[in-house]
Amino acid sequence: MKNLVLLLLVCCYLLPVMSVQAVEPAETSPLAWELSVLPKPTAEEIERQRWSGVFANDIGIYMFDNKSLHIDETDKNLAYVLVRTIFADPKIIGNLNQQYQGKLSAGDKVALSEMQMVFQLKQKMYAVTETKVVSEQGIILDDTKKTAKFAAVTPKTFAESMYYIAKSYDRNK
């Protein structure tokens, strides 16, 4: 009996020394939880929420990326924004399809254009520094980067609408 108790005590001392395989932690912590009545938005819904409509005409629908609008840290007179034109005019779409026919696959067509714009807030000037043309299937057909050549903002255009949005963003920031 004495030996059995001694053996049990030795086992109790050696048990903590023995290596134990750790259980892998769960991917999310049980403490990281959210309370919401609404279901989580899908990736497509998040992408749609990213863009705000600004202007529409015969050519298309003009939008800007909410998250991209920012003021330059070194020059507070410059505001940058990524804008998108979703083409609606069949004639323009047809012309663009002909222009990019070598890059378009069967059944695909030109859908939109994205531009990186920069605004001089005090001088009411703007420039386009990058342009992308994208197909319906998401293929980038053209990606052009250029140096900023500023031009005056023309009244009653998309550029004027974006200028006032950038100016308002700067005021409210």
Reported pTM: 0.73
The token duo for 30 is 């049980």
* pLDDT tens for each residue of 89-143: 999 999 999 999 888 888 899 999 999 999 999 999 999 999 999 999 989 999 9
The answer to whether 163 and 153 have CB atoms below 8 angstroms apart is: yes
Beta strand pairing call for 78-87 and 125-135: unpaired
- State how beta strands 125-135 and 151-152 pair: antiparallel
What average pLDDT does the segment 144-158 reach?
92
Please write the tens of the pLDDT for every residue from 30-44: 677 777 788 888 888
List 127's β-bridge partners, or say none: 118
pLDDT band at 169 (very low <50, low <70, confident <90, very high): confident
The rounded distance, in Å, linking the Cα atoms of 70 and 137 is: 29
Architecture label for domain 59-173: Beta Barrel (2.40)
Closest CA to 62 of 110, 100, 112: 112
Q: Which amino acid is at 149?
A: K
pLDDT on residue 41: 84
Residue ranges covered by each domain of the chain = 59-173
Quote the tokens at residue 129: 């520094």
Answer yes or no: is pLDDT of 13 > 90.
Answer: no
Rounded distance, CA 146 to CA 116, Å?
A: 10
Residue with tokens 């330059």: 72
